[in-house]
């Protein structure tokens, strides 16, 4: 039986050594969490295998045992972010439109809180558990409201594209701000400049734009988002099978 040697004291004139921190084992979950940390601080383009490995204090090669490539990492990040979306407990046939609207607002809130993560969603067929849960709930709500299966299948894709585009546009606008900018004041200034430009356009060439300046520049991002969402939901509702005018 080996006898443990007593620790040696620190020689005079030297600093005592600090015990090395125990390194946590590398897992896919830790890699995704580190990637989201980089995303939130620096944006999607900064999320590379090398940058994430740096965040974890390891080398890029060690990540490939848990994540096959950058694309898979991005998809895992998106699904982890989608897990923050709060879903209703169950579809309510009497409130299916309102519940769909609530989910859409949740997705917008979550996506815009994570920089440009919505770029990953564009053109992506969801396969992660959290994204599938969102899609399944949306389909369930439309089916509960009487939307035909084929229409619901097409509509869930259209809704996704609208939400992705809105979140990405928000990211582009936010990128124009500096640290000292007030978002609302910046927006108001930009709209004012656009109004001046439109007012100077030749009215004989652009009669509708010039005469509709107030309407074209009214409302902020939230109001326009709600309007676009309402347009989509009204269109989906028009396909409900048990409507009197169906």
pLDDT band with cut points at 50, 70 and 90 for residue 17: low
Query: Please, what's the largest Cα pairwise distance for the chain?
Result: 99
Tell me which DSSP letter residue 83 carries.
T
Is pLDDT above 90 for 233? yes
pLDDT band with cut points at 50, 70 and 90 for residue 13: low
Identify whether the C-beta of residue 75 lies closer than 8 Å to the C-beta of residue 128: yes
pLDDT at 246: 47
Give residue-wise pLDDT tens across range 100-111.
Answer: 999 999 999 999
Residue environment code for 184-205, b if the CB has 16+ CB neighbours within 10 A, otherwise e: eeebeeeeeeeeeebeeeeeee
User: Whole-angstrom Cα distance, residue 99 to residue 91?
Assistant: 8
**In the block, residue with structure tokens 């594209």:** 161
Query: What does each C-alpha distance from 175 to 105, 115, 190 come to in angstroms?
Result: 22, 9, 14
pTM here? 0.82
- Tell me the average pLDDT across 137-146: 96
Q: Of 42, 30, 227, 226, give the one whose Cα is nearest residue 117.
A: 42
**In the block, residue with structure tokens 């299948």:** 153
Identify whether the C-beta of residue 73 lies closer than 8 Å to the C-beta of residue 123: no
Give residue-wise pLDDT tens across range 104-136.
Answer: 999 999 999 999 999 999 989 989 999 999 999
Contact partners, residue 166, CB within 8 Å, separation at least 6: 108, 225, 228
Tell me which DSSP letter residue 9 carries.
P
Reported residue count of the chain is: 246
Walk me through the domains of the chain, giving residue ranges and CATH numbers: 28-67 (1.10.10.60), 93-237 (1.10.357.10)
Give residue-wise pLDDT tens across range 161-209.
Answer: 999 999 998 887 776 666 666 776 777 888 899 999 999 999 999 999 9
Q: Cβ of 46: how many Cβ atoms within 10 Å?
A: 13
Query: What does each C-alpha distance from 19 to 12, 16, 22, 23 come to in angstroms?
Result: 19, 9, 9, 12
């Amino acid at each position: 039986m080996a006898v443990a040697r007593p620790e040696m004291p620190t020689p005079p004139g030297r600093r005592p050594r600090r015990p090395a921190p125990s390194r946590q084992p590398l897992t896919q979950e830790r890699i995704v969490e580190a990637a989201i940390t980089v995303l939130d601080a620096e944006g999607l383009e900064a999320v590379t295998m090398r940058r994430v490995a740096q965040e974890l204090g390891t080398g890029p090669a060690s990540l490939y045992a848990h994540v096959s490539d950058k694309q898979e990492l991005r998809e895992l990040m998106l699904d982890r972010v989608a897990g923050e979306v709060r879903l209703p407990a169950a579809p309510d046939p009497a409130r299916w439109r309102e519940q769909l609207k609530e989910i859409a607002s949740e997705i917008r809130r979550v996506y815009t809180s994570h920089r440009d993560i919505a770029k990953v969603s564009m053109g992506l067929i969801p396969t992660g558990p959290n994204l599938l849960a969102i899609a399944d709930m949306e389909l369930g709500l439309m089916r509960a409201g009487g939307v035909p299966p084929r229409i619901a299948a097409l509509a869930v894709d259209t809704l996704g594209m609208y939400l992705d585009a809105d979140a990405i546009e928000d990211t582009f606008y936010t990128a124009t701000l500096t640290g000292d900018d007030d978002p609302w004041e910046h927006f108001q200034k930009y709209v004012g400049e656009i109004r001046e430009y439109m007012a100077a356009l030749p009215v004989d060439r652009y009669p509708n734009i010039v005469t509709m300046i107030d309407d074209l520049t009214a409302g902020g991002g939230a109001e326009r988002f709600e309007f676009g969402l309402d347009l989509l939901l009204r269109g989906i509702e028009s396909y409900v099978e048990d409507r009197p005018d169906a």
